[in-house]
């Protein structure tokens, strides 16, 4: 099966499995989405969704968050991991949003990436899931599946993102990003599949004999 054939099969099958792609992080505004995505780094969406209602009950706008005590933010988000760094980032980005952008999350990739704690992946998620702009955020899970499915030989998420954008139509990026995450969690997990177990892996590579060694980003 050629790469383009694998890509077409994957897109078709994921569309059948996940016709709806709800944003997995609970939020009621672009600001809440930004903070939730920041908290999701090296943390499960499930845990983030348990923490954010507590945080947002106390402050759900940058105007309110900028006045919170750093220790209080830390206390609330501690279950998410990396809490010292994340709590400082949330406080500082809130101040910047108020000072530079009148409390509005900027609809601009470069400006988002300049915010504390907001890297390319977080900015891409906000641009795609928040503003609806075509983007293909690549985390470690998408990186792993893209290698198992022969869509990239990327040694890092930057190259993997470039390869995925090159093979899938731009109109499908936002939905595919979530569909791949959903599939990876349900069928092609880090330890539950080694490239020879799940339906997509076995369809793309029916004669694969050895497990796929993922090149970690």
Give per-residue burial for 123-133: e unless 16+ CB within 10 Å, then b: bbbbbbbbbee
Query: Which residue in the list 86, 139, 163, 175 is annotated as catalytic?
Result: 139
DSSP, res 114 = T
Query: Which residue in the list 86, 121, 163, 175 is annotated as catalytic?
Result: 121
**Cα 144 to Cα 8, 159, 173, distances in angstroms:** 19, 13, 17
Polymer length of the chain: 217
Tokens of 144: 């792993």
CA angle 24, 84, 139 (to 5 degrees): 35
Is 110 annotated in the active site? no
DSSP H/E element including 160: helix 157-167
Residues 6 or more apart whose CB falls under 8 angstroms from that of 33 comprise 23, 25, 27, 125, 126, 129, 130
CA atoms of 90 and 153, how far apart (whole Å)? 35
Is 163 annotated in the active site? no
* Residues catalogued as catalytic: 121, 139
């Amino acid at each position: 099966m050629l790469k383009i054939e694998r890509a077409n099969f994957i897109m078709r099958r994921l569309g059948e499995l996940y016709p709806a792609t709800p944003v997995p992080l609970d939020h009621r505004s672009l600001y809440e989405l930004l903070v939730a995505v920041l908290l999701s780094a090296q943390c499960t969406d499930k845990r983030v969704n348990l923490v954010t209602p507590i945080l947002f009950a106390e402050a759900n706008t940058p105007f309110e968050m900028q006045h919170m005590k750093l220790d209080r933010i830390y206390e609330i988000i501690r279950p998410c991991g990396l809490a010292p760094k994340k709590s400082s980032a949330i406080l500082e980005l809130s101040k910047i949003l108020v000072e530079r952008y009148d409390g509005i999350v900027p609809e601009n990739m470069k400006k988002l990436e300049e915010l504390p704690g907001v890297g390319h992946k977080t900015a891409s998620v906000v641009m795609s899931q928040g503003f609806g702009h075509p983007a293909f955020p690549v985390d470690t899970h998408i990186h792993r599946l893209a290698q198992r499915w022969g869509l990239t030989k990327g040694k890092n998420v930057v190259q993997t993102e470039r390869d995925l954008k090159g093979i899938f139509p731009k109109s499908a990026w936002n939905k595919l990003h979530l569909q791949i995450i959903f599939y990876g969690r349900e069928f092609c997990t880090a330890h539950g599949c080694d490239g020879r177990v799940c339906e997509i892996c076995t369809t793309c590579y029916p004669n694969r004999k050895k497990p796929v060694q993922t090149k970690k980003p």
